[in-house]
Amino acid sequence: MQTTIDFIADIPLYSEEKPFFLHPSATSKVGVDAINTTNVEWENKPVTVRSMRNDNDISLERNGFCYVEHESKYVPSLGVDTELMKKYRAENEELLRSFFKADFVHCYDYKMRKNAPMALENYDPSDPLLVEQVAVGAHDISLDTVPRLLKNVLNEEQLQTFFQPGYRFRLINTWRPILPQCEDRPLALCDYSSIDVNDLVATDRVYPDWTQEIYYLKYNKDQQWYWLPNQRSNEPFLFLTYDSHSGSNARYCPHVSVENSMAIPQAPPRESVETRTLVITKL
């Protein structure tokens, strides 16, 4: 499929000033019209996105992503109650425990999204049922984010148990359409083996109570992108956002939603749910 992706622009400013986004909450008293909420500039580039359907060479270990067949009993709808979300998160923990034969699995975050504009007055990051708009710009979390995240997820006993030689830490995103099939704004994933580390640009996302560093991706013609045409709700993606093991394996996976040039005009706006999970295994 031919489409376009927004990449962070390769401009001299970022040699002097770190890229940033400011995300004030709906209750913020800051006048956002009076301040600069970002210095990020994008460049939109044409990209070929390859189908991974029936591609037996794609693997999470090598490429950083894969899809699996998994029929959920608890696929949430937007605005669902928190109890159903707890069941969905627990179900995804079991999926990952089985997939990785893991010693420890904990879902520490989730996101629900819809391809629709989102007004600031509706943005409350503390709302467990918040529905966000689709993310823009090819991105992933940064390595500097991981140590603080792990210390927030694990208690002292777990830290002492698992921060030992012989254990491997992965952060896994499980992403699936909420609607029976996804045509509008599907997710595209970048093959780890095609990425130059110099294409990663550390960027601060500043929220009301915390700051998170992420990577945005600069364009490189050698990058290889994949998607899953007509992805169904029982075909979730599993993709890496971090892997502590350093070898020939993938360690992260930049990703972004894209325009689907093959979508029918009547395709409903994309709705999706993703879980973010710490998975610990033995090496």
Q: What is the pLDDT of residues 220-251, one digit of tens each?
A: 999 999 999 999 999 999 999 999 999 999 99
Question: Cα separation of 198 and 217, whole Å?
Answer: 9
Q: What is the pLDDT of residues 4-28, one digit of tens each?
A: 999 999 999 999 999 998 877 555 5
Q: Between 200 and 147, where is the model more confident?
A: 200
Which pLDDT belongs to residue 144? 84
**Mean pLDDT estimate for the chain:** 91
Question: Cα separation of 114 and 119, whole Å?
Answer: 13
Q: What is the pLDDT of residues 163-216, one digit of tens each?
A: 999 999 999 999 999 999 999 999 999 999 999 999 999 999 887 777 889 999
Find the helix or strand (DSSP H, E) in which 209 lies. none
Instruction: Give the residue from 164, 186, 192 showing the smallest Cα distance to 65.
Output: 192
CATH 2.60.120 fits 2-282, yes or no: yes
pTM of the model: 0.92
Domain boundaries, the chain: 2-282
